[in-house]
Structures are given as structure tokens and as C-alpha cells.
Chains A and B, each alone.
Chain A
Amino acid sequence: MKGKRATAESSMMRFVKQLEQRSRAVFITAALLIVAAIGFVDYLTGFETSFSIFYLMAIGLAAWFLGRGHAIFISVLSVAVSLGGDLARGAHFSSPLVPTWNAIILIAFYLVVVWLLTLLHSLQRELEARVQQRTAALKDEIAERERLERELLEISEREQHRIGQDLHDSLCQHLTGTMLAGQVLEEKLAARNLPEATEAGKVIELVEEGIVLSRKLAKGLYPVEMEADGLMLALEEYAATSSELFKVSCRFECDLPVLIHDPATAGHLFRIAQEAVGNAIKHGKAKNILICLDANEEGTMLSVKDDGAGLPEMPPKNRGMGLRIMAHRSSMIGGVFSARRDETGGTLVTCELRLESHSDKLHRE
């Protein structure tokens, strides 16, 4: 019930809004015509019947659309027309003070209405202005938040990259040196036939495991090598590792060589694929996942398709976050992102880089 009234009100407001666009001359003419018409009917019906309430139509029109001055003028005019009509029809008063008194009462009544209407109008105007202001502020705030989110993602990406590289370049090299030192020690101990040589050998093995471990960590933090074909290699390796690790069939398909020259773009595409595969396994319980990297005249397209449960109608909060980050990454590299339930029931995640917005465009010449 309430909703119905609200929609009726809002459509009314829309109508009034549209009217406000018209020029003032239209309203002045309309108000005058209304006064003339009502005055004529008032005259025809004789002086015994009061028509004063109908003049409010013209007065209201003037008050709302033309302002206080015009409304007062129409009020006075209405009273004059009404009184003139009554007198012309032979209205008879015991004293000339009576019609004057009546006219003053009527004008006062009209003025109160004018005052209320113009007040309402200005209040409404103010409210509208404030809403607009707030909307603008809110829009700014949303834009600012999006910028921050993007920056956050960039920073985390950069930091991961840096840590990955440090792990690979510094820590692994350091451990290699340590291992060599251990080998020297082992050989010295062995030369003296000391049983501790075995323990030194164990230490070397442990350091070797340390190198493998930190290399794996570095790989997770920074999976895509700098070369243009790095994304293809990384996705291929990732598909193989995922199959092995999660006991699913994860394949990478790429018919044409797809070169991504910008390492940041390659990195984001990789992370999108990674997130999509992770979702497919964790949430969708998928058994078959297909990662595709495709290029055609329009651009480059990454897609991840699975045969899992598909996207739920309302994704749970944390999963929604994953989708949002994927969409974010996609927008950062100028891509068009979509994640939807596939016609076969699974999920299909795509990120399309159109050629015009391709960040690789710079490298093409």
C-alpha cells in the first residue's frame, strides 16, 4: 500500500519536474487563462455561489512555477475578477464595506496559501540540492576507494614480486654458498676419516632442501618469468602442478603462441587464472578444469572453465572478494571480466583484452 503511494508520488514528482522545464511565459499564460475561465464560470453561476476555492488552481500554479510575486498578483487578480463578476451579476451588499472586507479576507487566505506553497517549494529545492551534493561526495568517495583498492593490489603485487626476487636471488644464492661451505667441511672431515663427515653430509642435504623450499616460495610469490612467453610457460606449469597437487585434471590449452610483453599484464592474467582454478577446486569441487589462452583479431582472451558446482546465486562474502579482486585485476589491465555459470553447469571465468585497450599496444610497433 505504502509502496504504491510512494510510486504514485514519485511519478507525480517526475511530472512536476518535467513541467518545471517549461518557460515562464507558458505558466503566466496558463494562470491567466485559468483565472479568466473560472471567472467566466463564476459569472455564469451567479453571485450566490462561491468559486473562490477554484482560483487556487491558478494561484498554486503561479506560486510553484513562477514565484511569490506572480502568485500575489494572480491572487489579487482572482479576487478582482470574482468580485467584478459578482457585481456585474447584480450582487447587492448592505454596505460597500462588506465586499471590501470579503475581498481582504479572501486575499489573506490566498496569501497564506501562496506563502505555504513557496515555502514548500524552496524546501524541496534545498533538499534536492543537498541530495545532489551528497551524491557527488559519495561518488568521489567511491572513486577514491576504488583507487585505493587498486593501489593496495599494486603494492601487494610489487611487494610479492620483490620478496620473490629477493628469495630467489639473495637467499637461494646465500644458501648455495652455505651448502658449498658444508661440502668443503664434509670433505675435510672425510679426509681425516672422522665419523662426523656423515653429519656434515646431512647438513648439506638440509640446506639443499632449504633451497628447494625457498625456490618454491619464490615461485608462488612471483610465478611469471619476465620474458614475453612467460605467461604461457607459467600457466602450463601451474596447470600441471595443480593437477598433481589437487588430484584433478587441469589442462592448459593454447593453440597460438600468445606473447604478453608487459610483465604486469602477464602477472595479473596469471593471478586471475590462479584464483579461478583455486575457486573451482575449493568451492566448486570441480574435477576437470580447462585454462585457455587465445588470441584473435580483436585481442587476447584468458578463460578458465570448470565442471564444478557453478557460481551460487549469492556468493558468500569471502568468495565475493575473490571475484572482486579478479575483476579489479582485469580492469587494471584494461580487460573485460566476466564470471558466470556455464550452460553445462560449471563456472566460466573470462578476461578479455581488446586490442584497442590492450596495454601491449605500445609494444606492437
Chain B
Amino acid sequence: MNKAKIRIFLVDDHPLVREWLTNLIHQQADLVVCGESEDAPHALREIGATKPDVAIVDISLKQGSGIELIKNLKGMLPDVAVIVLSMHDERLYAERALRAGARGYIMKRETAKKVITAIRQVLDGKIYMSESLAAIFAEKFVDGRLPASGSLVEQLSDRELEVFQLLGKGYETRQVAEMMNVSMKTVQAHCAHIKEKLKLTNAAELLREAVRWQENYPAN
């Protein structure tokens, strides 16, 4: 009965959300909110000091980005399970957040029903995501276009890899062409090949993949 409660830290820039999330969590007998914060730097200090079991983090904060905070937490406090709670669409941000080290992603409109489930699931060591998001990931996985993992990228020729890397570093196509001393048409052809090899459907996806790959393998 006197088993220590599971401690949760909240990072959200909206007071009303923090207040009622706290109330909701406190309604569970075994959960307690051990602290809260509205910006990234403060949150990082406090989480370091209180060492909670779970941190619930919003992506858009008053100061600093939630994604950066997650990366920092993963590096400094790998034992804290992070759940992202965001107003943003899961199709755009969930993958980014999970790759940064989060263990769960909840869209704010689903918070009420799902947050407690998510907390319990990540405490069990599982990853939490909505069913529709899981379905999207599964489909990408079956199509073989989920991870721009080393193996797929290895199929790229040297020139294609160069284009892929430069795009990932945030250069524009025009600049890539200038830096590689080739025409835009050539870059376009390279891009078409990269898309084919990595099984990407469009340029936006190509760019996302390039940036992601650059983030994960910065040494390259």
C-alpha cells in the first residue's frame, strides 16, 4: 500500500492544461506530479533535480523546443520516459519526436482518454502511439520506406549521396547544384534516383528523409 508513487513531471506552456493534467493524474492512486515547467531550460534543470519516472512534454514551449529538450533528456537522463503531448498533427511530428527519444506521442485532443494509458504503457517499457499512427508506420514499414537506414542509403551512388547529404544539411537545390558544379537538371535526375532507391513518393518526403538521416548520422 505504501509503495512509492510513480512520479511525473509536466512541461507545457499553458497553465490550464498543466493544472487539469495534474488533477487528472492525482486522481490515479499510484501517480503523482512531482513538478512542472513552462520552458525548456527550466524543465531540464528541474527534471535533473527531481528525477521523475515520466516526463510529459509539449513540443511548442515558451522558450526552446520540445524536440531539443527530448534529445537533451535522452542524453543526460536516459531513465526518464518522455511522452510528447502536442497540438501538432501526429503525422508531421510524431516520427520526429519518437526518433529524438520520446517513448510516446499523444495529440492534445486525445489527451483526456489516453494520457493515463500512455503513462502506464511507457512505464511497461512499450512505446505508445495512436492506432492510426501505428497503422501509418506499419504501412511504411511494409512498403520498406520507413527508415532511411544505412542499408537503403548505401544503395545510393557517390554523387547521389552527396546530393542527399547537402539537402539534409539544409542547402537549397540551387546551392547544391552550384556546390557540385552541375546543372539543376542533373540534381533533379539525382533526386529522382534517390526517391526511387529510398522508395520516397515526393520531394517533401525526400527532404524530410535527408534531414533525418543527417540528424542521425551527422558524422557522414
A262 partner residues in chain B, CB cutoff 8 A? none
Contacts A176-B14, A177-B16, A180-B17 given; does A295 touch B87 at CB 8 Å? no
B interface secondary structure, majority: helix
Tell me if A255 counts as interface (CB < 8 A to partner B): yes
Give the CA-CA distance A177 to B10 in the complex, in Å.
14
Given A188-B27, A364-B175, A232 contacting B203 (CB threshold 8 A): yes
Q: Is A168 an interface residue (CB 8 A)?
A: yes
Report Cα–Cα, A184/B24, bound state, in Å: 5
A: number of interface residues (CB 8 Å): 40
Tell me if A297 counts as interface (CB < 8 A to partner B): yes
Closest Cβ of chain B to A174, distance in Å, is: 6
A204-219 CB mask vs B (1 if < 8 Å, else 0) is 1000100110010000
Answer yes or no: B130 CB below 8 A from chain A CBs: no
**A62 adjacent to chain B (CB < 8 Å):** no
Q: How distant is the Cα of A173 from the Cα of B88 in the complex, in angstroms?
A: 11
Least Cβ distance of B163 to chain A in Å?
Answer: 10
A206 to chain B minimum Cβ distance, whole angstroms, is 12
Partner of A232, one of B27, B112, B177, B207: B207
Contact of A176 among B108, B113, B204 (CB under 8 A): B108
Q: Are A233 and B184 in contact (CB under 8 A)?
A: no
Q: CB-CB < 8 A to B173: which residues of A?
A: 256-259, 295
What total of A-B pairs shows CB separation below 8 Å?
A: 117
Are B175 and A180 closer than 8 Å at their CB atoms? no
B37 to chain A, nearest CB (A): 16
With a CB–CB cut-off of 8 A, which chain B residues contact A355?
Answer: 174
Count of residues in B whose CB is under 8 Å from the partner chain: 39
Q: Is the CB of A172 within 8 A of B184?
A: no
Do A208 and B87 have beta carbons less than 8 Å apart? no
A182, CB-defined interface residue at 8 Å: yes
Task: Say yes or no: A255 contacts B112, CB within 8 Å.
Answer: no
Q: If the complex has contacts A254-B203, A257-B204, are A180 and B87 also in contact, measured as CB distance less than 8 A? A: no
Q: How far is the CB of A153 from chain B (nearest CB, A)?
A: 27
What are 7 inter-chain pairs, A to B, with CB distance below 8 A?
A174-B16, A178-B20, A232-B207, A257-B204, A259-B173, A295-B184, A364-B172
Binding site for B on A (CB under 8 A): 168-169, 172-174, 176-184, 187-188, 204, 208, 211-212, 215, 225, 228-229, 232-233, 236, 252-259, 295-297, 355, 364
